[in-house]
Structure 1
Amino acid sequence: MKKKLSIWVATAIGLIFVLSACGEKSQEDVAGELEETLEDMSGYKAEAVMEMNTGQENQQFNIDIWHQSEEEDFYRVGLTNNQDEQGSQIILKNEDGVYVLTPALNKHFEFQSEWPDNSSQPYLYQSLVTDVLNDEEAEFEATEANYVFKTKTNYQSNNNLPFQEIHFDKDTLTPVLVNVLDQDQNTLVQVEFSNFDTDPSFEEDDFTIDKNMESTATVDEPVSGDGKEGQLTVLYPTYMAGADLTEKRDVELENGKRAILTFEGEKNFTLVEETTEVQPTLSSPQEVKGDIVNLGGTVGSLSDKTLEWSHDGVDFTLASEELTREELIEVAQSVQSQEVK
């Protein structure tokens, strides 16, 4: 009798183990479901907060992400920096091209870019799933609430962020949290999603330049770095790639000021800063040949030798024949919000 009871207990325990094991999905199962979810998704609207610790000061963005997938993929990514609300920007992709809009300043630029397919994007569902599917060495873990993948990234212009940790909700397979990591596994960029709607509605003109340029009320006066017309508070980088400031030249403009900073040393570069004016309404956007890069406080345009961006009422141009693309980004990210001499 005891022998039969022992056999029954062992069988029951084995059955429980098998049933438990059957309930856990494998990495391949989850990756397949993510791919299927992406293929079936016709669009989404999401809200997230992105924190960046890539410079001397942490920067925080509120992000609104819209994606519509019909004949073509349309995107609208609104980024608002809590320290510079007038500099709120929109990355827009429609049937005509890729644009970066700054509605408060009546500025909009057209990029000759394959964005967002040319690089990892920590706030876009398509990019996250693609990175999971493309990394044969991806690590996988199932927690109580989430599926967690650790994958390589694909940042064409920044090799300092080689890894990411992506948390997908177990029930919906939508992203919850993304940590972008450096070589030492430190989190330098974090995107935390607060809402993800997989059944959104869109208006016919939601992805047009005209409607999105009207999304933020414009101001009538020139804006400058310290809020006073014509004034310019010069900012300095804390990372200088082995160079030192050798010259600072001030130039009077018709409606403001320009500062030209020259750095010489192991690698030479020039940083130009000038006050930003509200532009008259443009009939067509200015064309930019470069990649869209996120600098922590704003979105910039990166070419091989030049990085341009605007922040807090100031236009910046960083140029060098010697800095690498990664070094251009690192110098730009280190330009401080307060004057440092």
Structure 2
Amino acid sequence: MKKKLLLLFVGLMVVFSLAACGSKTQEDVVKDLSKKVEEIKGYKAQAKMSLQMGTDPQTYEVEIWHKDPSYYRVNLKNAKKDQSQMILRNDDGVFVLTPALNKSFKFQSDWPENSSQAYLYESLVKDIIEDKEAKFSATKEHFIFETKTRYQNNKMLPYQEITLNKKDLTPVSVMVLDPDRNPLVTVEFSDVNFNASFDEKDFDMQKNMTGAQLEVPVLAEVNGQEFSVKYPTAEIPGVTLIDEKEISLEDGKRIVLTYDGEGEKSFTLVQEVATVAPATASPTTVSGEPIDLGFTIGALSDNKISWTHQGVDYILASNELTKEEMVMIARSVQGTMVK
């Protein structure tokens, strides 16, 4: 009897020992992630990004390239593949390319280090490491972290759930959550290569613009085309639309929406058909930061956000709104017309 009990005890100890060896703590995984990011010299990834903001959910294909330490190429294409934008970072600066309009904008910016980026692995790891209150769980195949985000509008998108493959710590998915923890942005990774190699000009601005235009040709002249006026669905308490003007232009129209209220908050939203830049156009230098609005990349300065979407230029300007409020309003100007 004693021998049987001894064997049972030894067996249980072996089981517990194996279980302990097989389960990693949150601290273990964070250390492994820190080490992995330090070791990566370059990676390529494919992902699908879905947006639930607005009335019309949208899906984008995302191709991500990163070469250590600071070269980036993020190509975003909508599901119809008739629109695309690309964010590039090289020794000359940060560029946002819109191939269909032959337009490129240059920023002197520390992007992507200044904000969360749901499709960049090292940004996700940084969010995990920096959030000392991050929640951690594990399934049979995955490690799951819930962390705070570092977005300009993090009151609208305060949390994210990051799922990693247990086997190699590659990203599986990211859900960016609203305050009620509803997913507004979902990124699903389909292919991640942590041993990628790159050619010398893979991050060259002109090479990438030319290559992108083979997939999404430059639009024919768009001047004079009609467009549907879009209204922000996000609200600032007490602020309403008080004026809408249509200004006739030589090559189309400009719509100016004025919002004001009882308090000190007011803003103006301007919309007009985008123009195609000449073939010889050089990058336009922009003061401010590139800002990810979900459905497009815009330019954010102290009192203005400008962006282009579906062939229309938008400018949101305000001396009273915070940057966070401006981003919230800009993100909501898409989908079905709301008045």
Bin of the TM-score, shorter chain as denominator length: over 0.9
Mapped to 2, the partners of 1:221 and 1:254 lie a distance apart of 18
Letter of the 1:73 partner, please give it: S
In 1, are the aligned partners of 2:152 and 2:324 still within 8 Å (CA)? no
The answer to whether the Cα contact below 8 Å between 1:56 and 1:334 also exists between their aligned partners in 2 is no
The structure 2 residue matched to 1:118, chosen from 106, 111, 114, is 114
Find the partner of 1:304 among 298, 302, 305. Answer: 302
Distance 1:153 1:261 in 2: 31
**Which residue does the alignment assign to 1:46?**
45
The residue matched to 1:54 in structure 2 has which SS? coil
Change (3 A) 1:188 1:58: same
1:78 matched to 2:78: no
Query: Which consecutive segments of 4 or more residues in structure 1 shift more than 6 A?
Result: none
SS at the partner of 2:257?
strand
Out of 215, 228, 233, which is 1:233 matched to? 228
- Kindly indicate whether the alpha-carbon contact (under 8 Å) linking 2:88 and 2:95 is maintained by their aligned counterparts in 1: yes
AA aligned opposite 1:81 = N
1:265-284 correspondence to structure 2 within 5 Å: 265-266=261-262, 267-284=265-282
**Cα distance in 2 for residues equivalent to 1:53 and 1:230:** 28
1:192 aligns with 2:193: no
SS across alignment from 2:83: strand
C-alpha distance 86-223 of structure 1, shift in aligned 2 (>3 A): farther
Q: What is the CA-CA distance between 1:86 and the residue it aligns to?
A: 4.0
Measured in 2, the distance between the counterparts of 1:220 and 1:57 equals 24
Question: Which residue in 2 is equivalent to 1:327?
Answer: 325
Matched residue, 1:59? 58
CA shift, 1:205, in A, is 1.0
Query: Which residue of structure 1 aligns with residue 254 of structure 2?
Result: 258
Asked if the contact 2:287–2:301 (Cα under 8 Å) also holds between the matched residues in 1, the reply is yes
CA distance in 1, matches of 2:171, 2:26: 16
Do 1:55 and 1:330's aligned partners in 2 also have CA atoms closer than 8 Å?
no
RMSD: 1.8
> Residues of 1 paired with 2:178 and 2:301: CA distance?
23
Note if 1:145 corresponds to 2:141: yes
Paired residues of 2:100 and 2:219 also in contact (CA < 8 A): no
The CA deviation at 1:157 is 4.4
Contact 2:34 2:125 in 1 (8 A): yes
Identity level (%): 48
Structure 2: distance between partners of 1:14 and 1:240: 60
CA shift in 2, pair 1:282/1:185, >3 Å: same
The residue type equivalent to 1:236 in the other structure is Y
Task: List aligned pairs for 1:29-40, cutoff 5 A.
Answer: 29-40=28-39
Q: CA deviation at 1:282?
A: 4.3
Q: Partner of 1:18 in structure 2?
A: 17
User: How far off its partner does 1:294 sit?
Assistant: 2.1
How far did residue 82 of structure 1 move? 2.8
Shift in CA distance, 340/184, structure 1 to aligned 2, threshold 3 Å? closer
Q: TM-score, normalised by structure 1?
A: 0.92
- Change beyond 3 A, Cα 1:124–1:18: same
The residue that corresponds to 1:286 in the other structure is 284
Q: For 1:132 and 1:165, locate their aligned partners in 2 and report how far apart those are by CA, in whole Å.
A: 10
Work out whether 1:167 is the aligned partner of 2:163.
yes
The Cα of 1:304 is off from its aligned counterpart by 2.2
Question: Is the alpha carbon distance of 1:294 and 1:282 closer, same or farther for their aligned partners in structure 2, counting shifts above 3 Å?
Answer: same
Query: Which sections of structure 2, spanning at least 5 residues, go unmatched?
Result: none
SS in 2 for 1:34: helix
Answer with 15-24 or 117-126: which moved more.
15-24
Displacement of 1:283 in angstroms is: 4.8
Q: CA deviation at 1:312?
A: 0.8
Amino acid in the other structure paired with 1:183: P
Aligned length: 333
Distance (whole Å) between structure 2 residues aligned to residue 54 and residue 322 of structure 1: 24
| Equivalent position of 1:107 in the other structure | 103
What is the CA–CA distance in structure 1 between the aligned matches of 2:290 and 2:162, rounded to whole Å?
Answer: 22
- Higher alpha-carbon deviation: 158-167 or 317-326: 158-167
Output one character per residue of 1:111-163: Cα deviation in whole Å (capped at 9) or x when no partner: 13210011111110111111112222222212111111222222234332222
SS, match of residue 216 in structure 1: helix
Is 1:222–1:276's contact at 8 Å kept on the other side of the alignment? no
